[in-house]
Amino acid sequence: MSLNVEHHATRTLPSEKPLRLLDNAGHAVDGSETGGFSLPPVERLLELYRRMVVARRFDVQVTALTKQGRLATYPSAYGQEACEIGVISAITADDWFFPTYRDSIALLTRGIAPGEILTSFRGDWHNGYDQHRYRTTAQATPLATQALHAVGLAHAARLRRDPIVALTFLGDGATSEGDAHEAFNFAAVWQTPTVFLVQNNQFAISTPVARQTHAATLADKAVGYGMPGYHVDGNDVAAMYAVAHAAVERARSGGGPTLIEGLTYRIESHTNSDDPTRYRKAREVEHWKRRDPIERLEKYLVSEGALSDATRAEIADAAESLARETREVMTREAVIDPLELFDHVYSRPRAALLEQRAALEAELAGAAR
Amino acid sequence: MSLNVEHHATRTLPSEKPLRLLDNAGHAVDGSETGGFSLPPVERLLELYRRMVVARRFDVQVTALTKQGRLATYPSAYGQEACEIGVISAITADDWFFPTYRDSIALLTRGIAPGEILTSFRGDWHNGYDQHRYRTTAQATPLATQALHAVGLAHAARLRRDPIVALTFLGDGATSEGDAHEAFNFAAVWQTPTVFLVQNNQFAISTPVARQTHAATLADKAVGYGMPGYHVDGNDVAAMYAVAHAAVERARSGGGPTLIEGLTYRIESHTNSDDPTRYRKAREVEHWKRRDPIERLEKYLVSEGALSDATRAEIADAAESLARETREVMTREAVIDPLELFDHVYSRPRAALLEQRAALEAELAGAAR
Amino acid sequence: MTTTHTEPTPATDAAASAPQPLTMAGALNAALRDEMAADDRVVVYGEDVGPLGGVFRVTDGLQAAFGDERVWDSPLAESGIVGTAIGMALYGMRPVVEMQFDAFSYPAFEQIVSHVAKMRNRTKGRVELPIVIRIPCAGAIGGVEHHSDSSEAYWASTPGLTVVMPSSPADAYSMLREAIRSDDPVVFMEPKSRYWSKAPLTLPVQTAPMDRAQVVREGTDVTLIGYGPTVRTALDAASAAEAEDLSIEVIDLRSLSPFDDETVSASVRKTSRAAVIHEAAQFGGYGAEVAARITERNFFHLAAPVLRITGYDIPYPSPKLEEHYLPTPDRVLAAIAGWEWDLA
Amino acid sequence: MTTTHTEPTPATDAAASAPQPLTMAGALNAALRDEMAADDRVVVYGEDVGPLGGVFRVTDGLQAAFGDERVWDSPLAESGIVGTAIGMALYGMRPVVEMQFDAFSYPAFEQIVSHVAKMRNRTKGRVELPIVIRIPCAGAIGGVEHHSDSSEAYWASTPGLTVVMPSSPADAYSMLREAIRSDDPVVFMEPKSRYWSKAPLTLPVQTAPMDRAQVVREGTDVTLIGYGPTVRTALDAASAAEAEDLSIEVIDLRSLSPFDDETVSASVRKTSRAAVIHEAAQFGGYGAEVAARITERNFFHLAAPVLRITGYDIPYPSPKLEEHYLPTPDRVLAAIAGWEWDLA
Ligand SMILES: Cc1ncc(C[n+]2csc(CCOP(=O)(O)OP(=O)(O)O)c2C)c(N)n1
Ligand SMILES: Cc1ncc(C[n+]2csc(CCOP(=O)(O)OP(=O)(O)O)c2C)c(N)n1
Ligand SMILES: [Mg+2]
Ligand SMILES: [Mg+2]
């Protein structure tokens, strides 16, 4: 492409030890561990904290509603808030986001209402929000497929000289799919403004990441595409945000794609229908609960004197009010017209579908009589 | 798998400059350029020379026959003999080979008769040789698909504790396919005895390798799978053989897969129906002709006094007699029974196919009458 | 390479003598277990089939029983799963691989269509691929998008594949064992909504050969053809029709490819009317082939066109709408009532 | 984002006023050229579509004319090509992508079936994907394995896709322009064996809407239905039948999805006999749908079962055997002669 200035392949191995800015006790770390990134300003961290607390409350609420049978399914991101919120907060409303089923809380942070996010999981319709309005696509189920959509959109924006970025999330398991490879490769060859976040939550349903890759880190994959790769402590929101922010700005200014691996852990089961006791030990879960991303940041903010009781209470209120809203919206049954089944398959009506629509209409009328 | 001893991910960047043992003038190079490999014994090199000369004669003959219309298509490997012959010579008759359409000369080296190799390209039947007998699968057309077959077979052998190796060839273009990624990944995760040769002949039909990857080398891909990768001068048969031999022996002894990139050039058009003047300059082709792999080894052998006139004549004779055999077999039309169309689709006859067979039989009888 | 092919000494033999209620998932599990015990070339792999036992628990306990060299979790890549199965089969193994749902078999489409289906023919029978690709199929389980596709028409229209779908625990057991023993690749489709349906069974059970359709209820007025999940629909419709003095013969197709013309045509010639039920969309669905070949072979015996009672020509809907999409006994009976009966 | 949608000022307008002999490949090339000139949202990419102009030269000269930001060679990965096209369409582009051959579209199967086909419905029409997936299709070109598949049944049976196949240069031009202008994704199938067939044309030419079938030869005794490469077969059969006083009406289907019931049923009601021809295998092929719906809608007008003259139920054969596989005019006439004409 003539847009291509001379780009040189990045040929650096990501650090094997995940880089971080805060340790588990909430202390800022220095030097070698930070990979040259610096702590975001405290107001930014406070905002990330607020978002994480609200997100977790939402996630816990939805899991509870799912157990009550109000949703068909819900894949929780409990424990992954630093990845989800840290990275989604690095893009603007003009940028695009290509999420998976796991990323409901990132959608929430993107301003989408609970009822619209949950339309699909409660079984009303496949997708409930306006993708153009939120510049956020439907939560992809076929693994890694959405990464290619992100690359295509980013390429289109680049051709239009629009300085926007396409961000996409993938799981550790999804990196094994052919589409993940094709997405990384197209992005690198076309030098598209795409940021890939691989949330390595260490499981694909029951399969541990050791059965997905033989590489030391998933970020190592970046080398094969000549793009920068970062291996980051996925429970350190400061680091996740800082690395993502740098990647987003590099992408925006024509520097091409970046692959970020956030090393984290899925605390909940895969979805409500999963039974994790079959494949992992409670001890392991406990270990990771002690590395909670929200607590870590909270300790830091407290030590910096940046989290007043008033703020804390205000955030808790916001979280509770969102939980209430979520409960309410999930209690009201949505009105779904079965005849809409036929209305969106094609842009122009098809005779055969109109026949089938009429048949269902007659059937419904008969049943109503 | 319980077969898995503790394997550690290989995390070394392949050298950006292709490693080699002989320079273009046929001089042995030393130290840093060799990547620690040493020149194979001269008898081995002489045998590789013989094989390359014979292979080239075959290739040239088949290209000529194709121009005469005796074959439906023929993808030539002219110029790639060091990759083809060097690597195929590193495995034994007990090992398995998973070639592509490009690799007819490797099949020849594997002992398969010209008529059997060319059955598919002359349009007689999809595949003409006994895959089990030669431990060589049909020349794959759907790109990169065969790499997965190689991994599967290698894994089965590993489970059986059979010390065999599965070798597969891919093109530079094929590395972009999802299946290439999945093959590399499965091989690395399962630690199968598989050797991948990527023949980087710098074009996928008309598309230059710069549009396939942004990485500095295709061997860099190995890093993302935690397996060893080698970037080798693909016109140096000594280097190709040495690197492949080491990879094969590592695989055989349980050391897992290796990715080898041979940097070479496709001198001929993609196939007979291609028009390379549309996408590359004659000058470039001339440049690469001056880096001919056979001449390079010949210079070395001559300088070592290892290539007598008698040997040279004897090799030329062998090549000519193979060319003659090839011409002869391609002049005789093979007998193909159209009714065989129905006989191999399933192991047991199906009623509907028997009906269709009978219909064609009646049609043929009618036409014969 | 040494392989041991012990003659069938099913692991279930001793345990089960009196009929035990068994689910279809349980029957499939027993079939895998027994075939693995009988033949050490049989290996089982795919996504989450190991410690978890598969998301539908069909492989439950197999890794514990046979070890992780016979049953294992593969990397998450369907083309990789099927592609490596081809290589394993080439080396003499008999891989049974699982696709987690219909829609997640699509990444493996090229390997299935361009290799699994074509290998035998390509090599004039010199290379056989005894692979079983298990696909939990169809809908009616309240699954979100991509979890309820009906992919059978893609496979059944591909020459070189054998495609079967059991509708009962007994058939599930018997047909899966037969599929694993087949020297040809088999796409083995398991109707998800029937996984937890139960029947009393004594194992091992051997039902009709997997390439034969079965008359599962006799009747004289209409031949109603179902497979997998719609056999239940057909039987329910037939029971309901009894009240209206309409005698429906129900055929469980069992094998989608090959098609058992003999059984189907015999029934149609008796009843002179036929209808086929499936969940997939109608247009280009498997029912088109059923209707076309019944008509070709029995045109002058037919009193009315072959009916197709199917899903609509739309993507499978979300959970709250699937009840409107799925063919029901009522819909079947309404369609049958719509025939011009007086012309018979 | 700014997009310019200039109203059609076809690049070919000025150049061509008197009819010029044009091949189908040339007509397709002109359609791309004219649509790219008219709408700067149209981009063309795929394998070897740039400097080479595609292996069939359909994109010949386009990169030179429009630059490498409108026409470019992508990495060699079909899922990647279709997957990125989805993203580009989402951003307001109208990508036209090329699959090199039918069989090489299979790696893109998941992206096509799970996203391209479903996006509009998934989003209640909020997201449209105006993508054209061009597939050089079918056989009869002496191609080695994997170069002659007929994949139309896979696409046509997938709800959400529009599938069309021209049989002449004029239709190729007109239908491709219409496909690019469609707000829905279109699988645009190009019969390889017809690429070099010529017709005198003045561009721009506008033929019937792409969703309509066309009666391309009138007749009274039989309705013979073809599409793409088999329209020629049908016309040849009709000419030969004339000698035997058999009047065959030939329909060029043009659109495989949707199906033009109106045109087809009208013809069948006139002739009372119908046959469909395609290269693909018969079992589960597109002809099954044609036969099934003709029969459903016109049963009491039919004097005989709808015939299918198709490829055999085997993988597409090697070049030296394809003549025995492909439906020929003779085979069509023999099949027609096999009907029980006296019963009519
Ligand atoms: C192509 C495809 N294959 C299989 C599945 C079924 N499936 C859904 S989630 C999942 C595990 C994904 O793991 P990972 O990518 O690590 O993401 P996580 O769920 O851990 O967030 C699987 C196998 C799917 N959705 N798509
Ligand atoms: C899946 C697939 N897509 C497209 C093609 C068509 N095709 C045949 S060869 C080729 C180029 C392959 O290039 P490369 O892998 O570099 O191998 P080379 O021909 O240079 O040896 C293409 C695109 C194919 N055979 N398979
Ligand atoms: Mg995960
Ligand atoms: Mg190449």
Distance from C-alpha of B154 to C-alpha of C46, rounded to nearest angstrom? 17
**Atom 26, ligand 1: which residue's CA is nearest?**
A142
Kindly tell me the burial class for residue D137, based on how many C-beta atoms sit within 10 Å of its own C-beta (0-12, 13-18, 19 or more): buried
Residues A52 and A170 in one domain: yes
- Residues spanned by the domain of A356: 337-369
Q: What is the pLDDT of residue B367?
A: 83
How many other C-beta atoms can be found within 10 angstroms of the C-beta atom of residue C17?
9
DSSP A297-359: HHHHHHHTT---HHHHHHHHHHHHHHHHHHHHHHHSPPP--GGGGGTSSSSS--HHHHHHHHH
Which residue's structure tokens are 């749902």? C101
At A220, is the secondary structure helix, strand, or coil?
Answer: helix
- Report chain C's mean pLDDT, rounded to a whole number: 94
Has C147 been annotated as catalytic?
A: yes
What DSSP designation does D183 have? S
CB B152 within 8 A of CB C131: no
Q: Which of B168, B50, B12 is nearest to B99 (CA)?
A: B168
Mean predicted confidence (pLDDT) in D16-41? 94
Residues B90 and B198 in one domain: yes
Q: What is the 3-state secondary structure (H, E, C) of C254-291?
A: CEEECCCHHHHHHHHHHHCCEEEEEEEECCCCHHHHHH
CA B250 to chain CA centroid, nearest Å: 20
CB A240 within 8 A of CB A262: yes
Residues contacting residue B349 through CB under 8 Å, at least 6 positions apart? none
**Nearest-neighbour CA in chain C from D187: distance (Å):** 16
Give strand pairing partners of A231: A261
What are the tens digits of pLDDT across the range A188-241?
999 999 999 999 999 999 999 999 999 999 999 999 999 999 999 999 999 999
Q: Which of B16, B214, B231 to mutate to test the interface with A (most CBs of A within 10 A)?
A: B214
Distance from C-alpha of A166 to C-alpha of A159, rounded to nearest angstrom? 14
Instruction: Count how many residues are written for chain B.
Output: 369
- Report chain B's mean pLDDT, rounded to a whole number: 96
CB A257 within 8 A of CB A194: yes
Q: Which of C255, A184, A237, B87 is nearest to D84 (CA)?
A: A184
Residues A217 and A330 in one domain: yes
Kindly tell me the burial class for residue D300, based on how many C-beta atoms sit within 10 Å of its own C-beta (0-12, 13-18, 19 or more): exposed
Residues A303 and A234 in one domain: yes
What are the tens digits of pLDDT across the range B45-69?
999 999 999 999 999 999 999 999 9
Q: Which of A198, A214, A220, A225 to mutate to test the interface with B (most CBs of B within 10 A)?
A: A214
Q: Do domains C21-201 and C214-337 have the same CATH topology?
A: yes
C-alpha separations of C270 from A279, C290, C292, D126 in Å: 55, 17, 18, 51
The verdict on a CB contact (< 8 Å) between B350 and D318 is no
Contacts with D, C 237-266, CB within 8 Å: 257, 259
What are the tens digits of pLDDT across the range B136-190?
999 999 999 999 999 999 999 999 999 999 999 999 999 999 999 999 999 999 9
Distance from C-alpha of B216 to C-alpha of B238, rounded to nearest angstrom? 23
Distance from C-alpha of A208 to C-alpha of C33, rounded to nearest angstrom? 25
ipTM value: 0.97
**Atom 6, ligand 1: which residue's CA is nearest?**
C100
Distance from C-alpha of A324 to C-alpha of A270, rounded to nearest angstrom? 25
- Tokens standing for residue B345: 């689709």
| Angle at alpha carbon of residue B211, lines to B206 and B217, rounded to 5° | 115
What are the tens digits of pLDDT across the range C95-146?
999 999 999 999 999 999 999 999 999 999 999 999 999 999 999 999 999 9
Mean predicted confidence (pLDDT) in C307-325? 98
Distance from C-alpha of C45 to C-alpha of C29, rounded to nearest angstrom? 14
Mean predicted confidence (pLDDT) in D192-208? 97
What are the tens digits of pLDDT across the range C25-74?
999 999 999 999 999 999 999 999 999 999 999 999 999 999 999 999 99
Residues contacting residue B324 through CB under 8 Å, at least 6 positions apart? none
Residues B345 and B201 in one domain: no
Give strand pairing partners of D309: D277
The verdict on a CB contact (< 8 Å) between C47 and A142 is no
H or E stretch covering C95: strand C94-98
The verdict on a CB contact (< 8 Å) between C261 and B352 is yes
**Nearest-neighbour CA in chain A from C107: distance (Å):** 8
Domain count along chain A: 2
Chain B contact present for A15, CB below 8 A: no
C-alpha separations of A328 from A70, A114, A324, B130 in Å: 11, 10, 6, 68
Q: Which of B137, B199, B148, B195 is nearest to B173 (CA)?
A: B199
Residue B203 Cβ inside 6 Å of ligand 2? The answer reads yes
What are the tens digits of pLDDT across the range B111-135?
999 999 999 999 999 999 999 999 9
Q: What is the pLDDT of residue B6?
A: 52
Q: Scanning every residue of chain B, which has its alpha carbon at the shortest distance from the alpha carbon of A16?
A: B11
Residues B271 and B152 in one domain: yes
Residue D344 predicted with pLDDT over 60: no
H or E stretch covering B44: helix B42-67
CB B3 within 8 A of CB B215: no
> Phi and psi for B327 in degrees, rounded to 5?
-60, -45
Residues A201 and A87 in one domain: yes
From A13, A178, A256, residue closest to B182, measured CB to CB: A178
> Phi and psi for D311 in degrees, rounded to 5?
-65, 165
Indicate if the alpha-carbon torsion angle A82, A84, A86, A87 is positive or negative: positive
At B63, is the secondary structure helix, strand, or coil?
Answer: helix
Residues B367 and B250 in one domain: no
Which residue's structure tokens are 């075959």? B58
Q: Scanning every residue of chain A, which has its alpha carbon at the shortest distance from the alpha carbon of B257?
A: A214
- Tokens standing for residue B262: 């041979």
Instruction: Count how many residues are written for chain D.
Output: 344
Residue C6 predicted with pLDDT over 70: no
The verdict on a CB contact (< 8 Å) between B120 and D318 is yes
The verdict on a CB contact (< 8 Å) between A278 and C106 is no
Query: Which portions of chain A are predicted below pLDDT 50?
Result: 1-2, 5
CATH value of C21-201 in 3.40.1190.20, 1.10.10.60, 3.40.50.300, 3.40.50.970: 3.40.50.970
> Phi and psi for B264 in degrees, rounded to 5?
-140, -160
What DSSP designation does B15 have? P
Q: What is the pLDDT of residue B30?
A: 87
Residue D343 predicted with pLDDT over 70: no
Question: pLDDT band at residue B7, thresholds of 50, 70 and 90?
Answer: low
Chain C contact present for A125, CB below 8 A: yes
Side-chain-facing half-sphere of B245: CA atoms under 13 Å? 16
Interface chains of chain A (3 or more CB pairs under 8 Å): B, C, D
Residue type, B178: G
Chain C contact present for D296, CB below 8 A: yes
- Assigned CATH class of D214-337: alpha beta
What are the tens digits of pLDDT across the range B242-280?
999 999 999 999 999 999 999 999 999 999 889 999 999
Report the helix count and the strand count for chain D, using DSSP H and E: 13, 14
Contacts of A214 in chain B (CB under 8 A): 7, 9, 185, 188-189, 191, 225-227, 256
Question: pLDDT band at residue D6, thresholds of 50, 70 and 90?
Answer: very low
Distance from C-alpha of C321 to C-alpha of B119, rounded to nearest angstrom? 54
A1 domain residue, yes or no = no
Q: What is the pLDDT of residue A272?
A: 87
Contacts of D90 in chain A (CB under 8 A): 131, 137, 149, 152-153, 156
Indicate if the alpha-carbon torsion angle A44, A46, A47, A51 is positive or negative: positive
For ligand 1, the distance from its centroid to the CA atom of residue D63, given in whole angstroms, is: 39
Residue C183 predicted with pLDDT over 60: yes
Share of chain D above pLDDT 90, in %: 93
| D188 vs B5, higher pLDDT | D188
Q: What is the 3-state secondary structure (H, E, C) of D234-296?
A: HHHHHHHHHHCCCCEEEEECCEEECCCHHHHHHHHHHHCCEEEEEEEECCCCHHHHHHHHHHH
The verdict on a CB contact (< 8 Å) between C114 and D146 is yes
H or E stretch covering B195: strand B194-200
Q: Which ligand is nearest to the CA of D47?
A: 2
Which residue's structure tokens are 């239908």? D175
Residues with CB under 6 A from ligand 1: A 102, 141-143, 171-174, 201, 203-205, 266, 270; C 47, 76, 100, 104, 107
Q: What is the pLDDT of residue B272?
A: 87
Q: Scanning every residue of chain C, which has its alpha carbon at the shortest distance from the alpha carbon of B344?
A: C121
Q: What is the pLDDT of residue B8?
A: 81
A99 domain residue, yes or no = yes
Distance from C-alpha of A271 to C-alpha of D251, rounded to nearest angstrom? 52
Q: What is the CATH number of the domain that holds B232?
A: 3.40.50.970
Chain C contact present for B68, CB below 8 A: no
- Tokens standing for residue B349: 């006859």
Q: What is the pLDDT of residue B369?
A: 72
Q: What is the pLDDT of residue B31?
A: 85
A362 domain residue, yes or no = yes
Give strand pairing partners of D295: none
Helices C229-243 and C329-338: angle between axes, nearest 10 degrees = 60
Residues B174 and B45 in one domain: yes
Side-chain-facing half-sphere of B342: CA atoms under 13 Å? 20
Residue B3 predicted with pLDDT over 90: no
Chain C contact present for A369, CB below 8 A: no
Q: What's the predicted TM-score (pTM) here?
A: 0.97
What are the tens digits of pLDDT across the range D117-174?
999 999 999 999 999 999 999 999 999 999 999 999 999 999 999 999 999 999 999 9
Which residue's structure tokens are 């998008």? C145
Residues B261 and B369 in one domain: no
Residue D32 predicted with pLDDT over 90: yes
What DSSP designation does C340 have? -
Mean predicted confidence (pLDDT) in C258-270? 98
Contacts of D118 in chain C (CB under 8 A): 145, 315
Q: Which of A83, A45, A109 is nearest to A318 (CA)?
A: A109
Contacts of C286 in chain D (CB under 8 A): 284
B1 domain residue, yes or no = no
At A276, is the secondary structure helix, strand, or coil?
Answer: helix
Chain C contact present for D99, CB below 8 A: no
Q: Scanning every residue of chain D, which has its alpha carbon at the shortest distance from the alpha carbon of A163?
A: D1
Residue B173 Cβ inside 6 Å of ligand 2? The answer reads yes
CB B96 within 8 A of CB B135: yes
C-alpha separations of D253 from D240, D256, D263 in Å: 21, 7, 9
Residues B348 and B289 in one domain: no
The domain locations on chain D are 21-201, 214-337
Residues B34 and B138 in one domain: yes
Residues contacting residue B92 through CB under 8 Å, at least 6 positions apart? none
Say if strands C132-137 and D274-281 run parallel, antiparallel, or are unpaired.
unpaired
Residue D107 Cβ inside 6 Å of ligand 2? The answer reads yes
Share of chain D above pLDDT 70, in %: 94
Residue B5 predicted with pLDDT over 50: no
Mean predicted confidence (pLDDT) in C309-337? 97
CA C57 to chain CA centroid, nearest Å: 17
Say if strands A194-200 and A166-171 run parallel, antiparallel, or are unpaired.
parallel
Instruction: Count how many residues are written for chain A.
Output: 369
Q: What is the pLDDT of residue A7?
A: 60
